[in-house]
């Protein structure tokens, strides 16, 4: 048997402990055993005393097991429970005194509470005596009686014969019957408790006790995620006795429900009671962060971290807030100039009489199909034709062809921000037809800056009074309206909230103004996707002004975004009772009807809530009048703009798809997308260059060159077109044209390394092609007859003398042919003096014309040497003039490319020597500028 393995196999612990051989309970075996599990069983058997009690062996086994596995469970020892005898005298007396004080306080509190009727009612009735008291209790209590004990008993059998006659089933049925009769159905309380309690008759102790009880109930509801019920209990606790803990808990529940304003109020109450309350500061910072007030949030979080530097939640929230503020600041910097967005949802405002002649621009969904627009005489209903996004996807309602909110597209997308300003739009409220919406004067929209009436650029009057609101609150409302029109919905929401809070604090009783403020804030919530708060604000607005059109419509949209289709259907039908011309309500009713039929079947109408009846005074039906010529023109212009915008969106999408195909290497598919782009915008240069790239990748060089030629017709200086045409010419082996295009690229961007590399490669290929052509082409043998004058030479002079005599007749060149012959003779013989005489006798302005057909790299190099060695010292002005005209010759740039490295360095030496010459005709700067064209 191995000493390192358990010899008992897979037995249970009890079986193994009972079957451990006695031979294993000795020092040698335990010292050699390495199996910790088996050692634990041996130790358990030794401790049990079944084989005798051996303290030294137990200690030896524990020591060996500790060496093998210090964390073994068998080595754990339980500490005995502390008793009063184990405690020191001072500690024991302190604990006893505290327990006695607690007991006395509890008894005093209980006695004081029992003296009050609130806690004594019903104690004497329906309450059995306390167990252990001296009162006798009947065995059976009749719950249906009015507090009387039922003394009737069933006599039990006294002997075995009576027990045999006892009918057990009958007695069980009687008991079951009594239980069924006395059992009452459970009452489920589905309503939230009332938030108000009258604590006027309670003592201080009773208030404290009841407040704690209600707070504990709120905590239970909060843990069950029933935040509305938790808020009700916390409110009851605060009503009984205001406590910081209850305010803090209610603020947290309000945050869970996204009731930012209410949470802010609770946090402010707490900080009035305790200015440095960490929880209140932290929760107010989170509310500020959600409401877009990053600076205030950072201020509160700084105070929190000053009080508690190790607060993880505050540190994390501060990091998120700082990051959010940085992104917002960078976004504003990138945004640049502010533009006016065309499709902006209007807020409720009043229209002055002189503004009712402004035109109404029919609304249209962004990126969607056209829908029938309401005529101008109907008035703009603000949101009636515009569907803001729902919660979650941030998209507006689409037209009636879409049957699910998931297909909606956002009005707030980036594609809308490039729109031109509206030319004509009534703010909100009363229009020519007399349609009256629950909206009041908002001078922000009726000011001269509003593009509705065409006066753009004049300042906005933010201090204009609005209804019964004072100047400060009117300014807040006007600022909110202006921010809303500019698309800053979070900032507008803050302004409206401040105005509402100001009305509440000042006690202003103006339902019309409050209704407008709540409706405007609901629009901000709807734009931000906060449908729950939008519903609450719309409900408050409707409580102030029943059957207001905009709150009803916005609440319906919020309900629909939350998929509460029945409530949304009721609100839409109510809107149609108020104004049947609201097309958005018609489309939504049709869409929701289909959804409800799919959801509830044919009986879907029976499950709808009651649709309220709208009084005649609130209905706004009017006879439709034909649109005027101005309205028709405005519609036509808007249709043209929408068509252009749709084309732009389509173009951008196709281009993006083509770019994606290029990244994946699917060039043929990319060509199809780019071709579709050209159908929309045939003058877009970037599409031609992109198609040229695809043709290059597919090695269709001729098509690539044609695309680049077309791109250069559209944009003659396009660098990409030159570069890709150079690549196409390289593929077609037209190295000369490729080199010319690459030089144009480098002239536009001298630091483009890729073009420089391609130019070197193309130059090498051009030299190789020229060399191969010259070797393959047979050279003609032309006899040359040397003449010395009027008679034939009688003797053969030296070669230099003959050349100079022959060349002297050719110095007077009158055309390019004669100049070319003379220059070829000088180059072939290497006679620099003769070439110097030729250049000295040639006008510099004629040099490019004479060299047009003879220019090559070898010719340029020879001319530069002649100018440097023979003419620079004699006439530097002539050298400067020749160099000024030489670079204008045809094919000069190509010939310059073919120069070798040492030839280029010789040109540099020429310009260095020329720049050192002092002359009245040119300066050193002129020479440097001229050298840039050669080097």
> Could you tell me which residue, 277 or 440, shows the higher pLDDT?
277
Reference 850, options 825, 817, 826; nearest CA is 817
| Three-class secondary structure of residue 686 per DSSP | helix
Reference 842, options 801, 885, 804; nearest CA is 885
Query: Band of the pLDDT at 728, cuts 50, 70, 90?
Result: very high
Residue 457 has pLDDT above 60, yes or no: no
pLDDT in tens, 760-811: 888 888 888 777 765 665 555 445 444 444 444 333 344 444 444 444 444 5
Residue 175 tokens read as 């008991």
Between CA 432 and CA 482 the distance in angstroms is: 24
> Could you tell me which residue, 176 or 179, shows the higher pLDDT?
176
pLDDT at 770: 73
Between CA 203 and CA 889 the distance in angstroms is: 112
Between CA 546 and CA 834 the distance in angstroms is: 109
The pLDDT of 378-400, averaged and rounded, is 37
pLDDT in tens, 340-356: 444 434 444 433 333 33
Beta bridge partners of 410: none
Count of other CB atoms within 10 angstroms of residue 741: 27
Between CA 523 and CA 517 the distance in angstroms is: 10
Between CA 393 and CA 228 the distance in angstroms is: 26
Between CA 296 and CA 322 the distance in angstroms is: 11
What residue has token string 């045409």? Answer: 725
The pLDDT of 55-84, averaged and rounded, is 86
Rounded to two decimals, the pTM is 0.28
Residue 423 has pLDDT above 50, yes or no: no
Q: What is the DSSP string of 849-874?
A: HHTTTT--HHHHHHHHHHIIIIITTT
Q: Identify the DSSP state of 698.
A: T
Q: Is 394 left (phi over 0), alpha (psi -120 to 50) or beta?
A: left
Between CA 365 and CA 409 the distance in angstroms is: 9
Q: How far is residue 878 from each of residues 19, 648, 883, 885, measured CA to CA in Å?
A: 123, 60, 9, 11
| Three-class secondary structure of residue 705 per DSSP | helix
| Three-class secondary structure of residue 908 per DSSP | helix
Between CA 699 and CA 720 the distance in angstroms is: 17
Residue 441 has pLDDT above 80, yes or no: no
3-state secondary structure 180-230: HHHCCCCCCCCCCCCCCCCCCCCCHHHHHHHHHHHHHHHHHHHHCCCHHHH
Q: In sequence order, which residues have a C-beta less than 8 Å from that of residue 212 and are 6 or more positions away?
A: 237
> Dihedrals φ, ψ of 595, to 5°?
-65, -40
pLDDT at 332: 59
Between CA 58 and CA 43 the distance in angstroms is: 7
Query: Band of the pLDDT at 333, cuts 50, 70, 90?
Result: low
pLDDT at 60: 92
Query: Band of the pLDDT at 605, cuts 50, 70, 90?
Result: confident
pLDDT at 197: 63
Q: 780 burial class (0-12, 13-18, 19+ CB within 10 angstroms)?
A: exposed
| Three-class secondary structure of residue 441 per DSSP | strand
Average pLDDT, the chain: 74
> Could you tell me which residue, 459 or 878, shows the higher pLDDT?
878
pLDDT at 106: 87
Residue 775 tokens read as 């070797």
Residue 648 has pLDDT above 80, yes or no: yes
Between CA 563 and CA 599 the distance in angstroms is: 12
| Three-class secondary structure of residue 141 per DSSP | strand
> Dihedrals φ, ψ of 505, to 5°?
-65, -35
Is the Cβ–Cβ distance between 430 and 356 less than 8 Å?
yes
The pLDDT of 426-440, averaged and rounded, is 36
Q: In sequence order, which residues have a C-beta less than 8 Å from that of residue 344 and are 6 or more positions away?
A: 484, 485, 487
**Region of poorest pLDDT, from 542-546, 687-691, 706-710, 736-740:** 736-740
Residue 394 has pLDDT above 60, yes or no: no
Between CA 783 and CA 477 the distance in angstroms is: 103
> Could you tell me which residue, 142 or 839, shows the higher pLDDT?
839
Alpha helices in 196-339 (DSSP H): 204-223, 227-240, 244-256, 260-273, 278-290, 294-307, 312-335
What residue has token string 């509801």? Answer: 221
Give the sign of the dihedral formed by CA 275, CA 279, CA 280, CA 281. Answer: positive
Q: 508 burial class (0-12, 13-18, 19+ CB within 10 angstroms)?
A: middle
Count of other CB atoms within 10 angstroms of residue 706: 17
The pLDDT of 478-482, averaged and rounded, is 90
> Which of 186-190, 407-411, 613-617, 634-638 has the largest mean confidence?
634-638
Q: Note every long-range contact of 852-855, with CB atoms under 8 Å and residues 24 or more positions apart, other chains counting.
A: 852/816, 852/889, 852/890, 852/891, 853/816, 853/820, 854/816, 854/819, 854/820, 854/823, 854/824, 855/889, 855/890, 855/891, 855/892, 855/895
The pLDDT of 448-472, averaged and rounded, is 60
The pLDDT of 518-547, averaged and rounded, is 91
Residue 429 has pLDDT above 50, yes or no: no
Q: Note every long-range contact of 243-250, with CB atoms under 8 Å and residues 24 or more positions apart, other chains counting.
A: 243/211, 243/215, 244/270, 244/273, 244/274, 244/277, 244/280, 245/215, 246/211, 246/214, 246/215, 246/218, 247/273, 247/280, 248/277, 248/279, 248/280, 248/283, 249/215, 249/218, 249/219, 249/222, 250/218
Between CA 540 and CA 522 the distance in angstroms is: 10
> Dihedrals φ, ψ of 441, to 5°?
-55, 125
Q: 36 burial class (0-12, 13-18, 19+ CB within 10 angstroms)?
A: middle
> Dihedrals φ, ψ of 149, to 5°?
-85, 135
What residue has token string 């719309």? Answer: 538
Residue 363 has pLDDT above 60, yes or no: no
Residue 107 has pLDDT above 50, yes or no: yes
> Could you tell me which residue, 618 or 611, shows the higher pLDDT?
611
Q: 839 burial class (0-12, 13-18, 19+ CB within 10 angstroms)?
A: buried
Helix axis angle, 511-527 to 531-544, nearest 10°: 160
pLDDT at 389: 40
Count of other CB atoms within 10 angstroms of residue 28: 10
Residue 594 has pLDDT above 60, yes or no: yes
Residue 464 has pLDDT above 60, yes or no: yes
Is the Cβ–Cβ distance between 669 and 661 less than 8 Å?
yes
Q: Measured between alpha carbons, how far apart are the two ends of the chain, in Å? A: 96
pLDDT at 798: 42
Q: Identify the DSSP state of 149.
A: B
* Cα R_g (the chain), whole angstroms: 50
Q: What angle do CA 515, 519, 520 make, to 5 degrees?
A: 120
Residue 538 has pLDDT above 90, yes or no: yes
Reference 727, options 697, 686, 768; nearest CA is 697
């Amino acid at each position: 048997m191995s000493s390192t393995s358990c010899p008992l196999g897979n037995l249970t612990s009890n079986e193994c402990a009972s079957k451990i051989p006695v031979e294993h309970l000795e020092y040698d075996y335990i010292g050699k055993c390495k199996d910790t599990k088996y050692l634990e069983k041996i130790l358990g058997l030794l401790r049990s005393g079944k084989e005798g009690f051996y303290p030294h062996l137990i200690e030896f086994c524990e020591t060996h097991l500790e060496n093998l596995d210090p964390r073994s469970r068998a080595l754990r020892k339980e500490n005995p429970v502390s008793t009063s005898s184990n405690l020191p005298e001072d500690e024991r007396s302190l604990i006893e005194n505290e327990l006695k004080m607690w007991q006395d306080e509890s008894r005093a509190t209980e006695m004081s509470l029992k003296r009050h009727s609130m806690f004594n009612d019903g104690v004497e009735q329906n309450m059995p005596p306390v167990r252990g008291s001296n009162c006798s209790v009947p065995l059976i209590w009749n719950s249906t009686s009015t507090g009387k004990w039922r003394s009737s008993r069933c006599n039990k059998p006294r002997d075995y014969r009576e027990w045999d006659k006892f009918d057990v089933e009958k007695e069980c049925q009687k008991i079951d019957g009594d239980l069924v009769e006395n059992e009452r159905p459970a009452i489920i309380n589905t309503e939230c408790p009332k938030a108000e309690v009258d604590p006027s008759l309670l003592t201080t102790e009773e208030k404290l006790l009841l407040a704690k009880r209600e707070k504990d109930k709120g905590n239970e509801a909060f843990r069950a995620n029933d935040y509305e019920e938790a808020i009700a209990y916390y409110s009851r606790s605060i009503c009984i006795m205001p406590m910081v803990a209850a305010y803090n808990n209610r603020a947290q529940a309000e945050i869970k429900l996204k009731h930012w304003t209410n949470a802010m109020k609770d946090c402010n109450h707490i900080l009035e009671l305790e200015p440095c309350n960490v929880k209140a500061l932290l929760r107010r910072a989170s509310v500020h962060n959600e409401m877009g007030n990053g600076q205030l949030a950072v201020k509160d979080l700084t105070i929190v971290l000053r009080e508690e530097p190790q607060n993880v939640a505050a540190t994390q929230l501060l990091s998120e807030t700082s990051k959010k503020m940085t992104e917002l600041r960078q976004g504003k910097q990138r945004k640049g100039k502010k533009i006016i967005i065309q499709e902006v949802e209007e807020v409720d405002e009043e229209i002055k009489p002189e503004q009712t002649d402004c035109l109404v621009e029919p609304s249209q969904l962004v990126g969607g199909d056209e829908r029938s627009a309401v005529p101008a005489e109907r008035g703009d209903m603000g949101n009636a034709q515009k569907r803001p996004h729902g919660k979650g996807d941030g998209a507006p309602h689409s037209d009636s062809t879409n049957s699910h909110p998931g297909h909606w597209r956002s009005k707030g997308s980036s594609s809308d921000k490039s729109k031109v300003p509206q030319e004509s739009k009534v703010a909100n409220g009363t229009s020519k037809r007399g349609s009256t919406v629950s909206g009041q004067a908002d001078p922000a929209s009726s000011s001269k800056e509003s593009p509705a009436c065409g006066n753009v650029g004049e300042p906005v009057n933010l201090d204009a009074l609005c209804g019964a609101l004072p100047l400060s609150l009117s300014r807040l409302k006007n600022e909110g309206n202006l921010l809303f029109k500019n698309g800053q919905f979070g900032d507008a929401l803050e302004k409206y909230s401040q105005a509402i809070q100001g009305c509440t604090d000042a006690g202003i009783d103006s339902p019309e103004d409050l209704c407008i403020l709540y409706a405007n804030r609901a629009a901000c919530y709807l734009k931000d996707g906060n449908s729950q708060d939008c519903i609450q604000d719309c409900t408050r607005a409707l409580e102030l002004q029943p059957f207001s059109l905009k709150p009803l419509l916005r609440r319906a949209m919020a309900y629909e975004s939350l998929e509460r289709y029945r409530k949304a259907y009721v609100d839409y039908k109510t809107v149609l009772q108020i104004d049947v011309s609201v097309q958005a309500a018609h489309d939504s009713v049709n869409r929701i009807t289909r959804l409800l039929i799919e959801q509830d079947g044919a009986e879907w109408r029976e499950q709808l809530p009651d649709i309220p009846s709208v009084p005649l005074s609130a209905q706004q039906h009017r006879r439709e009048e034909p649109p005027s010529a101005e309205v028709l023109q405005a519609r036509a212009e808007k249709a043209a703009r929408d068509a252009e915008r749709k084309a732009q969106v389509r173009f951008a999408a196709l281009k993006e798809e083509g770019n994606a195909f290029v990244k994946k290497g699917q060039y043929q598919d990319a060509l199809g997308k780019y071709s579709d782009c050209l159908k929309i915008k045939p003058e877009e240069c970037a599409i031609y260059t992109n198609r040229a790239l695809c043709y290059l990748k597919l090695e269709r060089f001729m098509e690539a060159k044609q695309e680049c030629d077309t791109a250069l017709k559209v944009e003659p200086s396009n660098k990409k077109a030159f570069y890709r045409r150079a690549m196409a010419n390289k593929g077609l082996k037209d190295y000369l044209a490729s080199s010319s295009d690459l030089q144009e690229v480098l002239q536009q961007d001298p630091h483009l390394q890729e073009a420089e590399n391609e130019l070197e490669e193309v130059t090498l290929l051009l030299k190789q092609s020229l060399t191969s052509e010259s070797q393959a082409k047979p050279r003609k043998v032309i006899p040359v007859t040397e003449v010395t004058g009027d008679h034939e030479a009688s003797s053969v002079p030296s070669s230099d003398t003959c050349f100079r005599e022959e060349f002297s007749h050719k110095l007077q060149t009158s055309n390019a042919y004669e100049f070319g012959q003379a220059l070829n003779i000088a180059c072939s013989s290497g006679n620099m003096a003769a070439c110097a005489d030729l250049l000295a006798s040639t006008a510099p302005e004629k040099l490019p014309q004479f060299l047009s057909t003879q220019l090559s790299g070898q010719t340029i190099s020879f001319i530069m040497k002649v100018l440097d060695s023979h003419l620079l010292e004699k006439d530097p002005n002539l050298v400067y003039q020749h160099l000024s005209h030489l670079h204008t010759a045809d094919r000069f740039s190509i010939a310059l490319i073919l120069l070798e490295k040492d030839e280029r360095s010789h040109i540099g030496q020429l310009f260095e020597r020329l720049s050192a010459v002092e002359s009245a005709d040119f300066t050193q700067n002129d020479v440097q500028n001229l050298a840039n064209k050669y080097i």
